[in-house]
Homo-oligomer: A and B are copies of this chain.
Amino acid sequence: MTTHSFPVTLPPYKAPPTALRDEMLAAVKFDPAGLVTAVAQSAVTGDVLMVAWMNREALSRTIESGEAWYYSRSRKSLWRKGESSGQTQSVADVRIDCDGDTVLLLVHQKGVACHTGRPNCFFRAPRDGKLVEIAVPLVDPNQLYRS
């Protein structure tokens, strides 16, 4: 019996033809602000790494380049994951959900996904009656974002 789905076994990512990219973009229902929820999951471990937002341009660039791009609501701008930190995400697969309001990226994460230096962003959980950090930083965030 298979008890896990990871690592995923897929051929290396190849940018799709323009028509397919447009079909994918058309399959996504962007919200009134023009955004869609994007989940990045490790194609190797299956860990959910982070959740962020994409606008149409971010998704289009992600599909075309095979590198994860997102949209920052606070900075109101596109960003390529790892552009500051070097902790990039290479796309293995782009999956769209049943109602088109979430995109799942299977990615190969370089280094760590979280800006805190932890492997992923979901490191707070209840343990023994306390809300604790279940992962420690593997990298000093000051090293990730030094200028």
Residue numbers of A with Cβ under 8 A of B are 2-7, 16-17, 20, 23-24, 27, 37, 39, 41, 44-48, 50-51, 93-99, 101-102, 104, 114-116, 118, 121-126, 129-131, 134
Contacts and interface: CB of A to CB of B under 8 A. Distances in A.
A129 B129 CA distance: 50
A124 B102 contact: no
A123 B99 CA distance: 11
A39 B51 CA distance: 9
Nearest to A116: B98
- Prevailing SS type, chain A contact patch: loop
A104 B37 CA distance: 14
Given A23-B131, A41-B48, A94 B126 contact: yes
A101 B95 CA distance: 22
A127 B86 CA distance: 29
Contacts of A48: 39, 41, 48, 104
Contact of A115 (B27, B98, B121, B123): B98
Contact of A96 (B39, B118, B124): B124
A129 to B, nearest CB: 6
